[in-house]
Structure 1
Amino acid sequence: MEQKLTKKDLWIMFMRLNTMRITLNYETLQGVGFMRAISPALEKIYPDKQDLSEAMKRHAVFYNSHVNGDAAILGLAAAMEESTGPDEKEGINPLKTGLMGPLAGLGDSLVKFTWVPIVGSIGASLALSGSVLGPVLMFILYNIVNMIGRYYAVVYGYKKGIEFLNNNRENNMIQRISTMANVVGLMVVGSLIATVIKVKTPLEIAVNSTVTGEIGGNVIKLQEMLDIIMPSFLSLLVTIVVYRVLKKTNGSHAALIIISMMVITIILKFFGIL
């Protein structure tokens, strides 16, 4: 397959990558920024405005990773947009979702928690000795890895994505990877629901005493009973309800849903239900 993207297109994507976090928001995090960064490639791949609109909507969804991981995912996503058929486009976002977590962890550990402390220590030691080279040297050393690494990650992700997609079509690898990415994504979402969303109830159910027949002899704590049957059941229930509402409204009333959840929570807390 003839490649449509050039080094100039990849360079423009890299430049836009550096401003991805300007559009950071609580609904899609880096989603809008990712869509803007990949849009030069999309404009070249999809000359038809309807196809271009669908492609841009495909990338304007929830996304969040480390900026150096963004670079590799950006190149890979551009390669998939260019090399896949219409029936394979649905595999792009699951692949992004599956990669954004591991690459975020890798970027944080290698860049933020390893390289930054090293160059920061070098720069600080020079600055404390009175040398103005301290902050300058730190800036240069940091960006050797940060900026140059981002550019080559975009190029590497694109080239390796093209090679992979061209060499593995006969093995249906795209579908297999998409399935694996979906599984990983569901595991991440499931763990987040159980650990981040905390919905508990203090309600108790009074039952008759087996000895005196009086009501209130025994008390069953509803939360303990639910935890025995299915831990974090209420958290899962709330997540499903909010997800269904967001899906039905196409996410157009996200702010209203957040405010409604706050009001409902206050009311239920006042009446001792939560």
Structure 2
Amino acid sequence: MGCSMVDDLIPAATIILLRDAPQFEVLMVERHAEIAFAGGALVFPGGRIDAGDHNPAWAAHCEGFDAVPEEERAPRIAAMREAFEETGLLLARRNGETIGADEAEKLSSWRKRVEDDDRLFLEMIAGESLSLAADALQLFARWRPPKGVGHRRYDTWFFAAKAPESQRAKADGVEAMEIVWTAPADALAESTAGRRKMIFPTLRNVELLATSESADAVFSFAETRDRSPIEPRRIERDGAYFLTIPEDRGYPVTEEPLEKAMRS
């Protein structure tokens, strides 16, 4: 089930799960090669914002719900749901404490069911007397491509969060084929060497993560930066085409030759 789209933009959310172990790392997943969008690419867990993510009943099952801006509530729920579906990591608490590995593993049988019907995520959380950690997410960026850039146009919210320390990530084998914990700089090196591929927004945000040295530094940085939507543009220069973003938004790299940019 999907939400209504404005100007054919598809509402979506993704989550940047971070850890210091002790090296600063980000969790990424390699998508199934046959998936229509970003097939075979290294991405952050994420996907469409579905109707169930807007259910007002979530107010009773999310910590920090009322303090979250209203427009961010469904995107945050979607980001946490997608993380659970694709990696098994569940940003949820019981009696104020983040659940551990054993409890998250016991809930793993719900992953495919939730993927098939997003409404079951609320049923699971409520039935287990858990609360989603909506207050653990920090808005990091929002990307919204204009017409003419990409075959599928997603209005995507990027949230950063610390990964649950004791839980173990495991790819679902459907959308996410491999779990990759990596230092941002190492992911960039793999991309440059052609061993991994990333779509344009992912690559730019990994470059931005690489400017920080810890998860806390990412959160501090995100709090102070302009997080209004980034809108890539296609430009022509000296007969060559480039995909570009504004230079005043803090991204180390702001353009890429169009023929090299993986957009969908």
- The two structures have a TM-score, normalised by structure 1, of 0.30
- The two structures have a TM-score, normalised by structure 2, of 0.31
Larger Rg computed on CA atoms: 1
**Structure that is richer in helix per residue:** 1
**Structure that is richer in strand per residue:** 2
